[in-house]
């Protein structure tokens, strides 16, 4: 005797039709969506979810990995598309070849990925001259 019969669960013993198939189905409750539609997935959400940002230059064929929380300090709390628009390749100085993605690293990737870490943010003053 199964647990449902011992607990006198009436919904388990549904009548069968002539072919031996249960023709009555119980409705399952509506599941809430995991993320509201139209809400942007920002770097803060990616950090909270444990994701990693991978930014790649297709021209140089270089991929660098960043923690979303550190990218947020430099760029701001933007979506991954906003990150792609604001970064530039360190080697070729180009923006047009850049691609960015957020992903959950596998266990193997988590041990082998070398992250670029934020050391400091330095603002430089530049003097601009005008001839009169």
Q: For 46-67, what is each residue's pLDDT tens digit? A: 999 999 999 999 999 999 999 9
> pLDDT value at position 129?
80
More confident residue, 15 or 87: 87
Residue 33 pLDDT exceeds 70: no
Confidence band, pLDDT 50/70/90 cuts, at residue 31: low
Determine, yes or no, domain membership for 69: yes
Give the pLDDT of residue 97: 93
Give a yes or no: residue 125 inside a domain: no
Q: How many domains does the chain have?
A: 1
On whether residue 79 sits in a domain, the answer given is yes
The residues pairing with 99 across neighbouring beta strands, listed in sequence order, are 56
pLDDT tens digits along 70-122: 999 999 999 989 999 999 998 999 999 999 999 999 989 889 999 999 898 88
What pTM did the predictor assign? 0.65
Tokens for 51? 């994701």
Would 92 be classed as within a structural domain? yes
- Give the range of the structural domain holding residue 76, as residue numbers without chain letter: 43-116
Residue 82 belongs to a domain: yes
DSSP the chain: --HHHHTT-TTTSPPB-TTS-B---PPPPPPPPSS-TT---BHHHHHHHT-EEEEEETTTTEEEEE-HHHHHHHH-S-BHHHHHHH---TTT--STTEEEEEEPPPHHHHHH--EE------PPP-------
**Confidence band, pLDDT 50/70/90 cuts, at residue 127:** confident
pLDDT bin (cut points 50, 70, 90) of residue 128 is: confident
The reply to whether 23 falls in a domain is no
With CA atoms as reference, report the closest residue to 104 among 37, 63, 47.
47
Is 80 among the domain residues? yes
Residue 87 belongs to some domain of the structure: yes
pLDDT of residue 29: 61
pLDDT at 11 over 90: no
pLDDT at position 116: 92
């Amino acid at each position: 005797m199964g647990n449902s019969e011992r607990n006198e669960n009436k919904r388990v013993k549904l009548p069968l039709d002539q072919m031996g198939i249960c023709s009555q189905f119980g409705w399952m409750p509506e599941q809430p969506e995991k993320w509201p539609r139209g809400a942007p997935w920002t770097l803060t959400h990616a950090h909270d979810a444990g994701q990693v940002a991978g930014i790649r230059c297709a021209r140089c064929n270089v991929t660098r990995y960043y923690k979303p929380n550190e990218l947020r300090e430099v760029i701001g709390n933007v979506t991954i598309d906003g990150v792609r628009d604001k970064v530039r390749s360190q080697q070729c100085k180009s923006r047009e070849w850049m691609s960015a993605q957020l992903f959950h690293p596998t266990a193997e990737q988590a041990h082998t990925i070398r992250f670029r870490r934020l050391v400091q943010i330095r603002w430089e003053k530049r003097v601009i001259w005008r001839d009169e």
